[in-house]
Structure 1
Amino acid sequence: MHESDLRKALESADADSIALPLAESAPTSGAVPLFPDGTLRLLRDDAGAADLRLRGRAPIAFGAEPASLDAEFTCEEGKVAGAALTLSLPGAGVHVDEIARLYGYELPTLPTPPVTGLTFQGRGDRFALSLGGLAGDGGILERDGTRVLVVPASGGHVLATRDELTAQQVASLGLPLTGVLPVGVWLVLPGGIVVPVSAPQLVAPDGSGRTDGLGRPKTAAAQVPYAQHAYPGLSRRTRAVPTKDGFVVLNAPKLGGPGVSFIPGGPLDGHHGIEVVYDKSPLSVKGALQVQPAQSPYRAVVGGLLTFALGGGTPGSRGLYGMGTGAVVFPQDAGTQPSFFAFASLGAEPGLGIPAFRLTGVAAGFGWNSHLRTPGLGDLATFPFLQALHDPSAIGGDDTNPVEILNTLTGGANPWITPQQGALWMTAGLAFTIGELIDGTAMALLQTGADLTIGLLGTAGTSFPKSGDKKYARIEAGLQLVVKPNAGELTVGTSLNPSSFLIDEDCKLRGGVGLMVWYGNHPNRGDFVFSAGGYHDSYQAPAHYPRLPRIGFDWSLGGKVTVSGNAYFALTPRAAMAGGSLDVRYKAGIIKAWCTAKVDALIEWKPFYFDVGLSLSIGVEGSVKVLFVRITVRIEVGVSLRIWGPPTGGEARVKVWFISFTINFGHSARGQGDKTLDWPATRTMLPQAGARARLRPGDGLISEGSPDNPHEGDWLVKATGFTFGTDTQVPLSRIELDATAEDVVFTGPGFGIHPMRVTGLTTVQRVRVTLEGETVDLARWKAAPQYTALPPQLWDEHGDPEHGSGQEKHLTGVTLTSPDVEYGHSTGYIGEDTFKFDPVYPQGKAPLSSADAPLVPEPTRPGGVIGRIADTMDTATARAARTKVHALMGALKLDTGGAKSELPGYAQDVTGYFTAEPLLVPAGAARSTSTPNALEGDN
Structure 2
Amino acid sequence: MRSRCASCVSPEYIPPSVGNYFLAIGIRFTSFEMIDSFILVTATFGHRFELDIVGLSTLVLPAPDAQSAGVTPIAEVQLALRATFIPDDGFFGISAQLTRNSFLLSRRCQLTGGFAFYTWFSGTYEGDFVLTVGGYHPQFSPPSHYPTVPRLGFNWQVDDHVTLKGSAYYALTPSALMAGASLNATWQDGNLRAWFDAAINFLISWKPYHYSADFHISIGASYTFHFFGTHHITAHVGADVSIWGPEFTGQAHVDLSVISFTIRFGSSGRNKIEPIKWDTFRQSFLPDDNGKICTINVKAGLTNKAAAKDSTDATTQPDSNNLGVVNPKIFCLTTDSVIPAQQVYRGEQGQNVLERAGATIAFNIGTMQLSNAQIISTQRIIITSDGISVEEQFDFHPLTKNAPAALWGSQVQPSLNGDQLINNLLTGYEIRAKRLDDAPHTDPINYAELQQAATLDREPDAFRWSSLIPFVPQRADDATRRETIHNTLYNNDVAGRRTAIASALLGDDSLNLANFSADDFLSAPQVNELIAR
Shorter-chain TM-score above 0.5: yes
2:105 & 2:2 partners in 1: Cα distance?
45
1:516 & 1:641 partners in 2: Cα distance?
33
Q: Does 1:441 align with 2:38?
A: yes
1:421 & 1:646 partners in 2: Cα distance?
61
- Displacement after TM superposition at 1:499 (Å): 2.5
Name the residue aligned to 1:97: none
Q: Is the 8 A contact 1:565 1:583 kept in 2?
A: yes
Q: Do the aligned partners of residues 625 and 740 (structure 1) sit closer, same or farther apart at CA in structure 2, a change above 3 Å counting?
A: closer
**1:797-826 per-position Cα deviation (integer Å, ceiling 9, x unaligned):** 89995433444353412323376699999x
Q: Is the 8 A contact 2:112 2:150 kept in 1?
A: yes
Q: Is the 8 A contact 2:136 2:179 kept in 1?
A: yes
- Displacement after TM superposition at 1:579 (Å): 2.3
Q: Does 1:779 align with 2:356?
A: no
- Displacement after TM superposition at 1:763 (Å): 4.2
- Displacement after TM superposition at 1:664 (Å): 2.2
> Residue type of the partner of 1:835?
V
1:573 & 1:749 partners in 2: Cα distance?
19
Q: Do the aligned partners of residues 474 and 434 (structure 1) sit closer, same or farther apart at CA in structure 2, a change above 3 Å counting?
A: same
1:668 & 1:422 partners in 2: Cα distance?
69
Q: Is the 8 A contact 2:361 2:425 kept in 1?
A: no
- Displacement after TM superposition at 1:607 (Å): 3.0
- Which structure carries more relative contact order (alpha carbon 8 Å, separation 6+)? 2
1:831 & 1:594 partners in 2: Cα distance?
100
Q: Is the 8 A contact 2:293 2:338 kept in 1?
A: yes
| Counterpart pick for 1:767 among 378, 381, 388 | 381
Q: Is the 8 A contact 2:403 2:423 kept in 1?
A: no
Q: Is the 8 A contact 1:639 1:653 kept in 2?
A: yes
> Residue type of the partner of 1:638?
G
- Displacement after TM superposition at 1:434 (Å): 5.2
2:132 & 2:327 partners in 1: Cα distance?
55
- Displacement after TM superposition at 1:624 (Å): 4.2
| Counterpart pick for 2:2 among 286, 299, 308 | 286
Q: Does 1:326 align with 2:9?
A: yes
Name the residue aligned to 1:898: none
SS in 1 for 2:89: coil
> Residue type of the partner of 2:407?
L
Cα-Cα RMSD: 4.1
> Residue type of the partner of 1:682?
F
Residues 369-518 of structure 1: pairs in structure 2 closer than 5 A: 406-407=11-12, 409=13, 417=14, 422-433=19-30, 437-448=34-45, 452-463=49-60, 466=64, 467=67, 471-472=72-73, 473-518=75-120
Q: Do the aligned partners of residues 757 and 445 (structure 1) sit closer, same or farther apart at CA in structure 2, a change above 3 Å counting?
A: farther
Q: Do the aligned partners of residues 720 and 516 (structure 1) sit closer, same or farther apart at CA in structure 2, a change above 3 Å counting?
A: closer
Q: Do the aligned partners of residues 809 and 718 (structure 1) sit closer, same or farther apart at CA in structure 2, a change above 3 Å counting?
A: closer
> Residue type of the partner of 2:354?
V
Q: Do the aligned partners of residues 830 and 532 (structure 1) sit closer, same or farther apart at CA in structure 2, a change above 3 Å counting?
A: closer
- Displacement after TM superposition at 1:636 (Å): 1.7
- Displacement after TM superposition at 1:541 (Å): 4.1
- Displacement after TM superposition at 1:584 (Å): 0.9
Q: Is the 8 A contact 1:643 1:650 kept in 2?
A: yes
Q: Does 1:833 align with 2:436?
A: no
Name the residue aligned to 1:752: 363
Name the residue aligned to 2:219: 618
| Counterpart pick for 1:813 among 420, 425, 429 | 429
Q: Is the 8 A contact 2:171 2:179 kept in 1?
A: yes
> Residue type of the partner of 1:477?
L
Name the residue aligned to 1:588: 189
- Displacement after TM superposition at 1:556 (Å): 1.4
SS in 2 for 1:687: coil
- Displacement after TM superposition at 1:535 (Å): 2.2
> Residue type of the partner of 1:645?
G
Q: Does 1:699 align with 2:302?
A: yes
Q: Is the 8 A contact 1:723 1:815 kept in 2?
A: yes
Q: Do the aligned partners of residues 443 and 496 (structure 1) sit closer, same or farther apart at CA in structure 2, a change above 3 Å counting?
A: same
Name the residue aligned to 1:566: 167
2:371 & 2:223 partners in 1: Cα distance?
58
Q: Do the aligned partners of residues 613 and 762 (structure 1) sit closer, same or farther apart at CA in structure 2, a change above 3 Å counting?
A: same
Q: Does 1:732 align with 2:341?
A: yes
- Displacement after TM superposition at 1:646 (Å): 4.2
| Counterpart pick for 1:656 among 240, 253, 256 | 256
Name the residue aligned to 2:498: none
Q: Do the aligned partners of residues 668 and 527 (structure 1) sit closer, same or farther apart at CA in structure 2, a change above 3 Å counting?
A: farther
- Displacement after TM superposition at 1:742 (Å): 11
Q: Do the aligned partners of residues 555 and 766 (structure 1) sit closer, same or farther apart at CA in structure 2, a change above 3 Å counting?
A: same
SS in 2 for 1:753: coil
SS in 2 for 1:690: helix
1:572 & 1:562 partners in 2: Cα distance?
34
Residues 233-244 of structure 1: pairs in structure 2 closer than 5 A: none
- Displacement after TM superposition at 1:783 (Å): 4.3
Residues 38-187 of structure 1: pairs in structure 2 closer than 5 A: none
Q: Do the aligned partners of residues 477 and 557 (structure 1) sit closer, same or farther apart at CA in structure 2, a change above 3 Å counting?
A: same
1:497 & 1:659 partners in 2: Cα distance?
45
Residues 361-372 of structure 1: pairs in structure 2 closer than 5 A: none
1:432 & 1:700 partners in 2: Cα distance?
46
Residues 227-266 of structure 1: pairs in structure 2 closer than 5 A: none
Q: Do the aligned partners of residues 540 and 720 (structure 1) sit closer, same or farther apart at CA in structure 2, a change above 3 Å counting?
A: closer
- Displacement after TM superposition at 1:574 (Å): 4.3
Q: Do the aligned partners of residues 821 and 637 (structure 1) sit closer, same or farther apart at CA in structure 2, a change above 3 Å counting?
A: same
Name the residue aligned to 2:406: 793
- Displacement after TM superposition at 1:749 (Å): 2.4
Q: Is the 8 A contact 2:343 2:353 kept in 1?
A: no
Q: Do the aligned partners of residues 796 and 576 (structure 1) sit closer, same or farther apart at CA in structure 2, a change above 3 Å counting?
A: closer
1:512 & 1:716 partners in 2: Cα distance?
49
Between stretches 631-640 and 452-461, larger displacement belongs to 631-640
Q: Do the aligned partners of residues 441 and 806 (structure 1) sit closer, same or farther apart at CA in structure 2, a change above 3 Å counting?
A: farther
> Residue type of the partner of 2:360?
P
| Higher radius of gyration, 1 or 2 | 1
Name the residue aligned to 1:634: 234
Q: Do the aligned partners of residues 804 and 477 (structure 1) sit closer, same or farther apart at CA in structure 2, a change above 3 Å counting?
A: closer
SS in 1 for 2:407: helix
- Displacement after TM superposition at 1:511 (Å): 0.4
**1:683-714 per-position Cα deviation (integer Å, ceiling 9, x unaligned):** 3322342222233466377879xxxx9556x8
- Displacement after TM superposition at 1:494 (Å): 1.7
> Residue type of the partner of 2:380?
R
1:716 & 1:577 partners in 2: Cα distance?
47
**1:821-846 per-position Cα deviation (integer Å, ceiling 9, x unaligned):** 99999xxx97653739xxxxxxxxxx
1:809 & 1:423 partners in 2: Cα distance?
36
SS in 1 for 2:339: coil
1:474 & 1:517 partners in 2: Cα distance?
31
- Displacement after TM superposition at 1:534 (Å): 1.5
> Residue type of the partner of 2:8?
T
> Residue type of the partner of 2:265?
F
1:560 & 1:496 partners in 2: Cα distance?
27
**Which blocks of at least 5 consecutive residues in structure 1 are unaligned?**
1-284, 288-304, 307-322, 328-405, 410-416, 837-939
Instruction: Give the TM-score of the pair, scaled to structure 1.
Output: 0.40
2:351 & 2:17 partners in 1: Cα distance?
46
- Displacement after TM superposition at 1:586 (Å): 0.8
Q: Do the aligned partners of residues 453 and 583 (structure 1) sit closer, same or farther apart at CA in structure 2, a change above 3 Å counting?
A: same
Q: Is the 8 A contact 1:789 1:810 kept in 2?
A: no
1:715 & 1:501 partners in 2: Cα distance?
60
- Displacement after TM superposition at 1:493 (Å): 2.4
Percent sequence identity over matched residues?
26
Name the residue aligned to 1:83: none
